Amino acid sequence: MTLIGWLQILLFCGIVLALVKPLGGYMTRVFSGERTLLSPLLVPVERGLYALAGTGERDEQHWSAYAASMLLFNLAGFLLLYALLRLQAGLPYNPAGMGAVPADLSFNTAVSFVTNTNWQNYGGEGTLSYLSQMAGLTVQNFVSGATGIAIAIAFIRAFSRASGKAIGNFWVDMVRATLYLLLPLCIVLTLVYVFLGVPQTLGPYIEATTLEGAKQTIAVGPVASQLAIKMLGTNGGGFFNANSAHPFENPDAISNLIQMVSIFAIGAALTNVFGRMVGNTRQGWAILAAMLVLFVAGVTVTYWAEAAGNPLMHAFGLGGGNMEGKEVRFGIALSSLFAVVTTAASCGAVNAMHGSFTALGGLVPLINMQLGEVIVGGVGAGFYGILLFIVVAVFVAGLMVGRTPEYIGKKIEAKEMKMAVLAILCLPLAMLVFTAIATVLPSAVASIGTAGPHGFSEILYAYTSAAANNGSAFGGLTGNTPWYNVTLGFGMLIGRFLVIIPALAIAGSLVAKKTVPASAGTFPTDGPLFVGLLVGTILIVGGLTFFPGLALGPVVEHLVGLNGTTF
């Protein structure tokens, strides 16, 4: 580890923290229906979209109606994207003549982008046309990100309102998230990326002649516009197969920094939105503090492990850090930071090969996802995910002190606990059950690229990434098979919607409860004690659930590596 490396990490953290208050304040005004600088331009568009949806900005929905609207909208998005991929060969804006995407891969890809996972069992520049990339994937990047933000805002209203039956309107929240937040920021980011050298064109691929006289096809296309939303919306689906390790998607250290900040910006700012809407910004800062404790710990372990290098190399007298699978222009520090950032959030973008990390370096991205990606998390998804853990944490605190658990004046009772546990347990259900089946199914085992515990980690990482709606891959696993395309798709659906529906049910239950004034016996939830309780709850739940699986993969790989064993 070097001083320069740590300074780069501190610079990233400082920029993210500096954006929390201004971005959080702007988002609060947007979702409260207040006037912003963009209102004169966007209000007519906003009202037109409401008219098309048959609703109005003052119309509100019960949690069940909110959930039904969300599910119907996402079902329509899935069907449209699936049809676009299957009919790609006969549609325009296909200068490379890409053929129709196979049925199982179309299913996997459509589910992937609708659920904000963006798992890629395909090579973007070699599989998809410009139309599929823009009208299919990029559009879903916007609306899937907006869906996550909408769910988080609905959950926040449940705590901020004294009593009632409605938690907002899905159509209004989604439209505002897209028009006032994602779209303006992405326009600015797209221009910045173009300035930095990222391609943005509808022209054909470029034919070049090398110095040896060979012909080479250089893929280009509408890259910058997709890059902007894939990062800001924590989607991660790259235009190129190499994702943010490709020089056209990530030309230099400046673009790398912008991409990492984009991944965390909205998720971190939502904690400030929460504090503002419940009338106590200290509550938001406490949640962000818990996130940062886990994030800094993850960065420290990963950076240390990668800087220390592979113990097998030291056995042969070869020192130095682990540069395998990393871009020289980013080095160990920025590769480690990017890996932790992208798995702490539900963003599958990568600038290095996670499968080439050391055993302990690869362990941290796995844990980040298995904890539900609540360390900042995906846009909206990370915040309502950590609220579920908060429900569990305050319930445990209530049991310890013998009082009825409450949070922000809302009593946490049996119904809320049942829904929170259901949402939390659905992730290990998808991650571990599918992994267990794949490890004994010969056709699934045949897809792994490495023997021994690392091969097990490839399978575990794939299903963990899918159910956590992350989309990054360990590498080495041949995922484009009917088995993995279908089962990973179902894992994504479970990880997305079996978390959202219980979360909305909790929101519907809480919003109907009257706010109880704080008393001398109320457990304070805006100080260090609560931060420690929340961090402990997240780690204990994750540790008890996933440690056996991790022990079979990266933990044993590290231990046998210390003994010089190879596979």
Q: What is the pLDDT of residues 391-414, one digit of tens each?
A: 999 988 888 777 778 888 888 888
**Bigger pLDDT: 258 or 396?**
258
CA distance 480 to 318: 37
pLDDT band at 476 (very low <50, low <70, confident <90, very high): confident
Pairing mode of beta strands 406-407, 215-218: unpaired
CA distance 207 to 30: 46
CA distance 431 to 429: 6
Q: How large is the average pLDDT for residues 498-511?
A: 93
Q: Which residues sit opposite 362 in a β-bridge?
A: none
CA distance 530 to 475: 38
pLDDT band at 369 (very low <50, low <70, confident <90, very high): very high
H/E stretch holding 216 reads strand 215-218
Q: What angle do CA 539, 301, 328 make, to 5 degrees?
A: 135
Beta strands in 390-441 (DSSP E): 406-407, 410-411
List the chain domain ranges: 25-206+217-279
Segment 161-170, tens digit of pLDDT: 887 889 999 9
How many whole angstroms from its chain centre is CA 475?
18
Q: How large is the average pLDDT for residues 246-256?
A: 93
pLDDT band at 171 (very low <50, low <70, confident <90, very high): very high
Whether 382 shows a pLDDT value over 70: the answer reads yes
Whether 28 shows a pLDDT value over 90: the answer reads yes
- The confidence score (pLDDT) of residue 365 equals 93
- The confidence score (pLDDT) of residue 441 equals 93
Whether 188 shows a pLDDT value over 90: the answer reads yes
Segment 419-438, tens digit of pLDDT: 999 999 899 999 999 999 99
**Bigger pLDDT: 238 or 459?**
459
H/E stretch holding 299 reads helix 281-308
Whether 311 shows a pLDDT value over 80: the answer reads no
Closest-CA residue to 189 (of 141, 239, 225): 225
Whether 497 shows a pLDDT value over 80: the answer reads yes
- The confidence score (pLDDT) of residue 299 equals 95
pLDDT band at 316 (very low <50, low <70, confident <90, very high): low
Whether 543 shows a pLDDT value over 80: the answer reads no
What mean pLDDT value characterizes the chain? 90
- The confidence score (pLDDT) of residue 317 equals 58
- The confidence score (pLDDT) of residue 72 equals 95
The tokens describing 257, both together, are: 């920094």
- The confidence score (pLDDT) of residue 318 equals 62
Whether 566 shows a pLDDT value over 80: the answer reads no
Quick one: what percent of the chain has pLDDT higher than 90? 64
- The confidence score (pLDDT) of residue 445 equals 93
- The confidence score (pLDDT) of residue 319 equals 64
